[in-house]
Chain A
Amino acid sequence: MILIISEQEDYSTERVTKWLDHLHAKYFRLNKEDPIKNLEITFSNNDFSINLYINEEWLLFKEIHSVWYRRGELNFDFDLTFTKNATDSFVKGVQYNLIHEELKTINDFMEHVLINKPSLGSMKWKNANKLLSLLYAQRAELEVPKSIISTEKKQLKTFFKESKKDCISKGVQDVMSFVSDNNSYSYATSKILSKDIEDMSETFFPSLLQHNIDKKYEVRTFYLNGDFYSMAIFSQNDEKTSVDYRNYNVQKPNRNVPYLLPKKIEDKLTVFMNSMELNTGSIDLIVTNNNEFVFLEVNPSGQYGMVSIPCDYELDFKIAKHLISLK
């Protein structure tokens, strides 16, 4: 049986499971929304077993022959009420911490067991670390954008001057967006002008600045166990989308076309992915006007549908077949 760890609303998971049905493969889909109501871990005679009770069904770890870690996490839903005599808030606090430590130990143990099964994607990378990926990319001899993280205006100013052009700012963490009071904030990339830096206070929260790269087009590639499925994104024809294509331009969608990376770059990316211990992920690159390839980031559980559909790579089907073949 294939265990799929995902989220309820994830469309890619939906498509892959449809193919698994079609190919008559057995799977268990565990969404982060599905509460784990009960669990059993037993050790006996050189053997152990883990069983979880989810949605009125028992999931036996013994039956899992491979894992697709798409996204999300295990969702324990146990009764966490405290013993009756714990009225003191200090005692309550201690109990709370203890219980969470206990749960964490169980969670980590299970994740460890799952990580060691043949898998696509890994719980190890529930949170991609952008800085770590820059470091590994550099080690794999990929070019990365000149970057600085600083808390001081002075340093940012110097860095800005060196860029000769302009800079872009990014969230240090994974890219995400949120909405509040009808304003939508997005950590997607935005352009920084020298005026923006002037307006900053002398010291501030660590901020990431990168030299803006003159791009001809962007490349997003989906890496699946050694194979690259790449797409070129032409966005610069339009001011609105010329910094980051995630600032999606509704009137005029970007041109997304199938693309083949040079072998040399694929080889470096393979080294990079291996060093990150990733067997799948979406990688973003920029191709400069001088035909140089600059690595931007990797997203271990990226939305590959946006590459698969425009390029006809049929990735849902390929992932389903890969999951079945995992041993």
Chain B
Amino acid sequence: MKYFKIFNSCKIVKGASQALIYDLDRVDNSSPIPLDLFEILTDHKGKSVKQIKSFYQNQYDSTIDDYFRFLEEREFIFYCSEIEKESFPEREFNWNKPNKIINSIIDFDRSIPISEYRTFIVDLYSNDCQVVEIRSFVKLTLDEIRSFLKHFDYTSILTVELLSMFNDKVKKSEIVELLDEFPRLKKISFYASDFSETNGVINYSTNKVVPDLDCGNVDPKYFSINLDTFSEAQKHNTCLNCKVSLNKVGQIKNCPSMDKTFGDFRKVSIQNVLDKNEIKEDWKISKDEIEICKDCEYRYACTDCRAFTDEKSNKYSRPSRCNYNPYQGLWKGENGYVDVITRIK
């Protein structure tokens, strides 16, 4: 007898109207599945196809055959023999890292001289920060970009991303040189540009953006299906966890768009802020606790914005920029879509 097993890197997450197979090895292979297939995969885990068919009194044999053909073709499952049944334990999804901070956003509008940011960046580095995003409200000059990037020399920060208002004096060829000169710079994007062009690394967009207001958008193109996010999302907020940021006037915040501040970076150290724990308040809110999201199959791939939510007073309120209705399985613009909130009210 052959028993089916789901590869451990394929995780099925149930939503209100459908389920999603997260393929953590092969992202593009991820696939929504109907709820009755979800039932087969979970309630009848480890059975043989024959056993499953007879459980349903052989009423749905051809559907079940179709399902298993699909699962085999997409390599979501494999079959094992009796003696191997116990050889494939379930994977756990812990998320433990030694880093005190992992990422940071620094908002900039020239109210503080760039030279003063060096101390904060070194402070981020000594707390193991890996990724920093600099967002400028003004048109950065090439010299300004350079001075910012120089602050990262001799730190172990791996990635710097930059977002700035478009400046027609900064040539694309100069940006290319910049990327060579500063290998940490992995992405540079300009908004309010005269033209739009993108290659993932250097991006120009004509959209007018206000960095701390235009954040937290929910869209499949921002979903991240991968092992790290999936594991982190089990018990953490994947946007705010291990994040320490600065708003444009130098106030330390979890994210620049949130209300709570923890002091001016020129007066208090990150260590000081972390010791008080208050900044960590939202780090452990997971999608499983968020209203509506907890019924959504995308919850371990979607950002959980806590700055813009349906109801400010409710800690577990849904990100207000969501355009998906998990009860219908429909996105805004699709036929029959109803906004979740109106539906509930």
Contact = CB atoms under 8 A, between A and B. Distances in A.
B25 A253 contact: yes
Contacts of A21: 98
A312 B25 contact: no
Contact of A309 (B92, B96, B227): B227
Nearest to B6: A257
Contact of B25 (A19, A255, A262): A255
Interface string B196-231: 000000000000000000000000000000010001
B81 A258 contact: no
A310 interface: yes
Interface residues of B, number: 25
Contact of A312 (B26, B75, B83, B94): B94
B26 A252 contact: yes
A193 interface: no
B88 A312 contact: no
Contacts of B90: 258
Contacts of A314: 94, 96
A261 B89 CA distance: 11
Interface in B69-95: 75, 78, 81, 83-84, 86-94
Nearest to B156: A14
Contacts of A15: 98
A22 interface: yes
A194 interface: no
Contacts of A30: none
Interface in B90-146: 90-94, 96, 98-99, 128
Contact of B88 (A257, A262, A291, A309): A257
A256 B9 contact: yes
Interface in B255-307: none
For the residues of A in contact with B, the DSSP-based class is mixed
Interface string B222-256: 00000100010000000000000000000000000
B7 interface: yes
A237 B75 contact: yes
Contacts of B78: 234, 255
A234 B89 contact: no
A21 B9 CA distance: 31
A310 B9 contact: yes
A143 B4 CA distance: 28
A317 interface: yes
A179 B231 CA distance: 36
B8 interface: yes
Given A255-B75, A291-B81, A312-B91, A234 B231 contact: no
Interface of B: 7-9, 25-26, 75, 78, 81, 83-84, 86-94, 96, 98-99, 128, 227, 231
